[in-house]
Amino acid sequence: MVEETIARLITEGFVNEERFAQLYAGGKFRQNKWGRVKILAALKKRNISAYCIKKGLEEIEEEEYLKTLINLIERKSLELKEKRTFVKKEKIAAYCIQKGYETELVWKLCRDYTDCT
């Protein structure tokens, strides 16, 4: 009976893994400011298929993603009272990486972004 109900829900579109992945990725990015790495890990933890994860991550526009990361860097830079430039950049990068942004991208923006110093 349970399997029949689940099958019916899937065929009628009430249970949709792809839609879940899209809403989850978009929501976590826009509301919690999570990066792709953290979203990917969370979706894998929920046993979402690779195809649906890919579709979910496509919900995040590249331009909006970069703007959000730059805003996180700006905000963290203003919060920190650290005087030593290298230590400040390390703290900012660690914060952004912990939020799930790609390490290389974080360091590139942190180096290129002038307010990060």
105-70-116 Cα angle (round to 5): 90
Is residue 87 within 8 Å of 25, Cβ to Cβ?
Answer: no
What is the span of the domain harbouring residue 86?
A: 62-116
Domain boundary among 11, 35, 57: 57
pLDDT of residue 83: 87
Rounded to the nearest 5 percent, the helix, strand and coil shares of the chain are: 75, 0, 25
Is residue 72 within 8 Å of 95, Cβ to Cβ?
Answer: yes
Same domain, 6 and 52: yes
The encoded tokens of residue 87 equal 């230590």
Same domain, 46 and 78: no
Q: What does pTM read for this prediction?
A: 0.84
Same domain, 46 and 73: no
107-35-89 Cα angle (round to 5): 25
- Residue-level pLDDT, tens digit, the chain, 117 residues: 777 877 776 677 666 888 999 999 999 999 999 999 999 999 999 999 999 999 999 999 999 999 999 999 999 989 988 888 889 999 999 999 999 999 999 999 988 764 544
CATH of the domain at 12: 1.10.10
Q: Is 8 exposed, middle or buried (0-12, 13-18, 19+ CB in 10 A)?
A: exposed
